[in-house]
Amino acid sequence: MNPLKSVQHLIMRVWYWQVRKLNSAWPSITLEGKRLVIFPGVYKPLENEPALAEHCREGDRVLDLGCGSGVNSLFCAPKAREVVAVDISDQAVENTRENCRIHGLTNVSVAKSDMFSNVHGRFDMIVANPPYVAADFEKEEEQFATSTRYLPQLFGHAAEHLTERGRLVIQFPIWFRKRIERLAAANNFKVVSVRRMPPKSLGLFLLSVAYLQVGFRSACYLLEPMPAARKPEPRSANPALVAAE
């Protein structure tokens, strides 16, 4: 590993340690009146994530890819016909199930999945909050903020799981807009709109400072696959997803 990568890994290991400590000290967050519990090894939503649910339409079937605490599922569920929430992390899967239980959601299914490996069928909307930092860690609970393969796999396979009028909604820093546009063009996606996430309240901003999560200038990217991108759904022998308890 080159010296820069070594330094990056050291910084992120310290950051992950700090996040676990902070999540243990402050194990919940309230967004737009909804309280979410946050497990120690799960990303705490600090970027006004509920704004992504504005792109959910009545009756949609939604895929929450990399669900984390389940924040996107919670805010899409009131409008969606069905939400399928998946994550590679066991902690995240259980965290999402717990928040669905707390809020009495019956139209959300939660399962463990490495990206699309345990995802079946097509969706009207795929919502994703990709890791911001390009680095790899072995532990599942250390992949919510670092990954080198999430974005390429997302763009490479999303069209296979979208309906004819389906759309892809991504939260990612506006600093990397060119990167998103390049990936979109390479995979026959059209960038429909790019909009900054809503301004943070003072309380949310101060919490973001404590988590060292400031300056990213997060944005919501709305994308649609062009006809050439739509592919037949891959065949799979995987079992059906398990409903949230």
> Looking at residue 124, what is its pLDDT?
98
What 3-state class would DSSP assign to 190? strand
pLDDT more than 70, % of the chain: 84
Q: Is the pLDDT of residue 238 over 50?
A: no
Q: Provide mean pLDDT across the span 214-236.
A: 78
Q: Calculate the CA dihedral of residues 175, 180, 183, 185 and round it to 10 degrees.
A: -120
Q: Is the pLDDT of residue 71 over 60?
A: yes
Higher pLDDT, 5 or 237: 5
Q: H or E element: which one contains 207? A: helix 202-210
Q: What does pLDDT average to over the chain?
A: 87
Label residue 227 by pLDDT band (50, 70, 90). Answer: confident
CA distance linking residue 72 with residue 66, whole number of Å: 10
Picking from 180, 162, 185, 165, the residue whose alpha carbon sits closest to that of residue 219 is 180
> Looking at residue 242, what is its pLDDT?
37
Q: Provide mean pLDDT across the span 70-99.
A: 97
Question: Beta strand pairing status for 162-173 and 123-128?
Answer: parallel
Q: What is the pTM of this model?
A: 0.87
Q: Is the pLDDT of residue 240 over 50?
A: no
Q: Is the pLDDT of residue 148 over 90?
A: no
Per-residue 3-state assignment (H helix, E strand, C coil) for 146-165? ECCCHHHHHHHHHHHHEEEE
> Looking at residue 50, what is its pLDDT?
96
Pick the range with the lowest mean pLDDT from 3-12, 70-79, 194-203, 206-215: 3-12
Q: Is the pLDDT of residue 236 over 60?
A: no
Q: Which amino acid is at 30?
A: T
pLDDT tens digit sequence for 104-140: 999 999 999 999 999 999 999 999 998 866 555 555 5
Label residue 232 by pLDDT band (50, 70, 90). Answer: low
| Domains and their CATH numbers in the chain | 3-229 (3.40.50.150)
Q: How far is CA 194 from CA 26, 223, 244, in A?
A: 32, 9, 32
CA distance linking residue 152 with residue 60, whole number of Å: 25
Q: Provide mean pLDDT across the span 213-222.
A: 91
Label residue 147 by pLDDT band (50, 70, 90). Answer: low
What 3-state class would DSSP assign to 29? strand
In the numeric block, the tokens 């090894």 are attached to 41
Q: Is 47 exposed, middle or buried (0-12, 13-18, 19+ CB in 10 A)?
A: buried
CA distance linking residue 222 with residue 231, whole number of Å: 20
